[in-house]
Structure 1
Amino acid sequence: MKSLKRIIQLCEQNKPSISFIDEILKGTNTIERIAASAAMMEWLSLNKGMNIIASHDIELTGITKSTYTNYHFSESIENGQVHFDYKIHSGPSKTKNAIKLLEILDYPQSITNKANGLAEHFLERHEWKVMKN
């Protein structure tokens, strides 16, 4: 947050800047992180400077789509290995890998099945399914 504040202060002094921000506001709670990140991204876009912002918060791609151009790296999983092509692709990422990585690392199938079900439910309904004992 201190680094982000320095970027803002440079902009307020009308000093052009190029900022590279990796995982904006990581480590903060999800709802406020996304809201504050979107607000900060909008503010930065209205001030002098070029901003390159990396985030795993897919929600930011929708919130900021009229302000920022989205790019992503792509990966594939082959023979239990994750491979990156190290090329920049347009648009938000279409792949997901967290649950697949759990499967590769031989986590219990009950965990990965549950995780897949929860993820599918969220993607269909945009709400999290309440877990039951």
Structure 2
Amino acid sequence: MERERERERERERERERREIKREREIEIEREREREREREREREREEREREREKRERETERGEREREREREREREREREREREEREREREREREREKERERKRERERERERERGGEREREREREREREREREREREREREREVVLMVR
């Protein structure tokens, strides 16, 4: 009996270690993304300097500027699209992680007995979470529309 409890505690510690590792990996990926964004910004500034230099050197500067602005707008739309996709992916990952945590909590609750009342409470919590998720989605849509 004691060994079983010890094994359960060890499994729990292992799950927690994996969670911590996953959170660290997510943070590292976010930092990499910030670095890529800074690099893109440096590249954009470099292109801007080059563009300004070309404008000073040519009579066709206005047409070139317009084409460059259009390309820049296109790149910006692409970056925004990629960022929205990455954000959706991160949100899916966070949701999976929340679901895994909820599942572990449900396992613990089942072990302790009195399952029906707790199951009703969990269903209410899931509904509240879904409502919060819908609210967050509406807020994200508003933010995206504002952009």
TM above 0.5, one fold? no
Higher RCO, 1 vs 2 (CA within 8 Å, ≥6 residues apart): 1
Could you say which structure has the higher helix fraction?
2
Q: Larger radius of gyration, structure 1 or 2?
A: 2
Return the structure number with greater strand share: 1
